[in-house]
Structure 1
Amino acid sequence: ATVVSDGPREDKFAIAAEVYNQAGELGRRAGVQVAVHPSSHHNTLLFDRSDYDAIFALLDPDLVGWVPDTGHILRGHKDMSDTLRTYRDRIRYIHLKDVDANGSWAMLGKGVCDTPVVIEIANTAPRFNGWLVLEEESETAAADPAGAVKTNRQTMRSLGA
């Protein structure tokens, strides 16, 4: 969710919402669901909780869903659980990723992401399609990708997912 334009940052929310709502309408006509996936990288529009509040106030929830990314939410210094609960009705699927207390990528279950809470919220989200997409960007995964996949699978199984 990056918007590059001139002008005040507040105006970018309106620009983004207009584009997302139009895309959502086109998607509806084509039978495709449209959803916003924010990040925590430089120039992102959706970084902290007030940003989420601003954009979701402008988006039509029937046209534009949300694909929260737990790692990016945590890196944005937001209360992940509260943000997910507040906007659970918009969740379509979830990118599940962990970070340490400094915001560096961590293996799932080794950082600050409360994965059981994410699973609980997902299971109560009315539009959740059942997909928890595990993303692994830690140094451990870079050194041993296959091992990271196996470890994450074991972590998820230990949580009953």
Structure 2
Amino acid sequence: MQDENEIGILMSLTDPKVVYLAPDSAHLLGAGMDPASIIRTYQDRVAYVHLKDLTDKSAATPDSHLPYFCELGKGSVNLHRTIEALNEIN
């Protein structure tokens, strides 16, 4: 899935008792989505989370291939908001 629209389509076409979501914070951000928002939107379907961070595009060199995953807290994923969303949905 490449964008929030595609996630919405998949969620609408599948049984919420059978198909769950395992959001990946770095991949969501890399695709232009807000991980905290996705977690809140699909809170009843979140099975587990891949909590990862992603380098900021400004940190890239001309010969680099983004995305680069990095140590939590060193990239551009808003971990505070993401963890806050997880706490909200228990």
> Which category of TM-score, normalised to the shorter sequence, fits these structures?
0.7 to 0.9
Match in the other structure for 1:62: 17
In structure 1, how many angstroms separate the alpha carbons of the residues matched to 2:86 and 2:35? 13
Match in the other structure for 1:79: 34
After the TM superposition, which segments of 4 or more aligned residues of structure 1 sit over 4 Å from their partners?
A: none
Bigger fraction of residues in helix: 1
Number of aligned positions between the proteins: 81
**Aligned AA for 1:76?**
A
Offset of 1:85 from its aligned partner?
1.4
Q: Secondary structure at the residue paired with 2:29?
A: helix
- Asked whether the 8 Å contact 2:53–2:69 carries over to 1, the reply is yes
Q: Which one has a bigger Cα radius of gyration? A: 1
Find the partner of 1:111 among 58, 75, 90.
Answer: 75
CA RMSD of aligned residues (A): 1.5
1:95 aligns with 2:50: yes
TM-score (structure 1 length as normaliser): 0.46
Unaligned 5+ residue runs, structure 1?
1-45, 127-161
Bigger fraction of residues in strand: 1
TM-score (structure 2 length as normaliser): 0.79
**Taking CA–CA contacts closer than 8 Å with sequence separation of 6 or more, which of the two structures ends up with the larger relative contact order?**
2
Match in the other structure for 2:84: 120
Unaligned 5+ residue runs, structure 2?
58-66
- Asked whether the 8 Å contact 1:91–1:125 carries over to 2, the reply is no
Q: Percent identity?
A: 33
Offset of 1:101 from its aligned partner?
2.2
In structure 2, how many angstroms separate the alpha carbons of the residues matched to 1:66 and 1:56? 9
